[in-house]
Structure 1
Amino acid sequence: MPESAGRRVASIVADALRREAYREALVATYVWGTGKRGSRGGSGPATLPKILDVEDLDTMPADAVTTLRKQGAEAAYAGLQGRIYGFGPSFYTKLLYFAGKTVPSPSGPQPLILDRVLARRLRSLAQAVGRETGHDPDGSIARWVWRDRNWSPHRYAVYLSFVQAAVGQAAATGTWPSDTSPDLLEYTLFSTSWT
């Protein structure tokens, strides 16, 4: 995790999970995810009180952490999908990401963040490959697969597998450090633009 704020959140979430303070872990990742200016599109500071008022809120992150521990990231993602209005994948993948630093999943890739910025970067990459190969000349498949929101659990699993495979392939060619984790590539995709 490249930035120090992320390391602080990881520490807060680890401490909260040890104490089974799941709501605290959720709030820490949510606030971190809104950034300095808050999130666009109605989320952020105005939405957090609505999320915190949801009946039985404490079971959602507790269930997600248990599922992550027992079944992996895809199942944990599926268990969070659609549970709370205003708390979509852009935010709950942040919860899974930070929880995954403390509670490694038993199989499959570790959870990563997937939000609109990353989906758009993946769409751009998929469109370029589609044009080059002729499999998606107009980019319509890439636009559908990597839309801005509402990614299925399967799509999340594909994303995790892609990032892990890309890190392995880049490391094998010597263009990427072999001792880095997939979250460095996720962060690079998030923070870098290309054409």
Structure 2
Amino acid sequence: MGRQDLADALDDEMGRRLLPPTAVRALGLWLAGSGAPYVTGAGGHAVEYVPAQWSGVEPWPVEFPERSRTGTARISRAQVVASTRGAAERSEWAEALVASYVWGQGRTGYGPHRLKEILSEPTVDDELAKAGAALRREGAVAAYHGLRGAVKGLGPAFFTKFLHFLDQGHVLDQAYSLDQGQSHDLATDASVAPRALILDQRVARVMRAHATRVGADMALTSASDVAAWIWSDSGWTSHRYGVYLAWIHSATEQLASAGIGWPGSCPELLELALFDGVWNPAS
């Protein structure tokens, strides 16, 4: 078996097993405890940032506080969704990226400098616009494929945030259209495809630990090496992103049927829980 064959076998087994009972218990306890504010979804999950630290970043989201504010502010996922959707409606793609990037960096001091460099790239607006069109017409994996390596300095840990918040806005638009008895303009393939979710280093490391354990259980040759290869710290292929989305969405369905009160329509809640370290596969 070649390394790719081993990776495919491991992916298939993870797709069959999904979450072990220990994970379901840990996630259920979290949802009943510190995760209780998210029982209806992750929209209230907020981060702190300092507006004044982003004073040189343009364009600034119109919904965000003025950058003369030197104290901390809080921005929630729901607020980023609204800001991203508004910017996309005006075709202000760089503004949509700024909203998701600020949320993703929080109070990290080097974030503004990195974002300025990204925004200075001459192709950034065109590439973000193309990704937005691909997301709406073809789905998250196609949009990911288009953005991977397209803008210098903009890696998947941050452009998946852009895609996620943009896609959340699409979901709200679809729900409103259905409530009003209207059709929406998304292509059939995109409307049934897994929703875009954030994939970053912390989430990938949880997936790596889980893959290592599953691989060992199935006596897979070099299980830890294969898991480290497919769930590296960055640079994931569009195929890997598709595997991740399929696994998260299937695991969300598993949790929704486990009797722990998990909301079945919120795969982003599982992403949040993995990011927060609610479940440690290595323990």
Q: TM-score, normalised by structure 2?
A: 0.64
| Correspondence list, 1:102-141, <5 A | 102-104=169-171, 105-135=190-220, 138-141=223-226
- 1:19 alignment partner AA: R
Decide whether the 8 Å contact of 2:123 with 2:151 is kept in 1.
no
Residue 38 (structure 1) shift: 4.2
- 1:13 alignment partner AA: T
Q: CA separation of 1:51/1:74 partners in 2, compared to 1, >3 Å: closer, same or farther?
A: same
Measure the CA separation in 1 of the matches of 2:144 and 2:136.
12
User: 2:133 — aligned with what?
Assistant: 66
SS at 1:86 equivalent:
coil
Q: Larger relative CO (CA 8 A, sep 6+): 1 or 2?
A: 2
Of the three residues 16, 20, 29, the one matched with 2:100 is: 29
Q: Does 1:100 align with 2:167?
A: yes
Structure 2 unaligned residues grouped into runs of 5+: 1-41, 47-75, 172-189
Decide whether the 8 Å contact of 2:255 with 2:264 is kept in 1.
no
Of the three residues 272, 276, 279, the one matched with 1:187 is: 272
The structure having more radius of gyration, on CA atoms, is 2
Measure the CA separation in 1 of the matches of 2:276 and 2:238.
24
Measure the CA separation in 2 of the matches of 1:125 and 1:136.
16
Measure the CA separation in 2 of the matches of 1:99 and 1:10.
7
Q: TM-score, normalised by structure 1?
A: 0.91
User: 1:10 — aligned with what?
Assistant: 81
Residue 45 (structure 1) shift: 2.0
Residue 138 (structure 1) shift: 4.7
User: 2:158 — aligned with what?
Assistant: 91
Measure the CA separation in 2 of the matches of 1:60 and 1:160.
22
Query: Percent of aligned pairs with the same residue?
Result: 38
Decide whether the 8 Å contact of 2:84 with 2:165 is kept in 1.
yes
Residue 137 (structure 1) shift: 5.8
Measure the CA separation in 1 of the matches of 2:259 and 2:117.
48
Structure 1 unaligned residues grouped into runs of 5+: none
Q: Does 1:55 align with 2:122?
A: yes
Number of residue pairs aligned between Structure 1 and Structure 2: 191
Q: CA separation of 1:186/1:176 partners in 2, compared to 1, >3 Å: closer, same or farther?
A: farther
RMSD: 1.7
User: 2:49 — aligned with what?
Assistant: none
C-alpha offsets along residues 123-157 of structure 1, whole Å, 9 cap, x if unaligned? 01111212222225651111111000110001000
SS at 2:256 equivalent:
helix
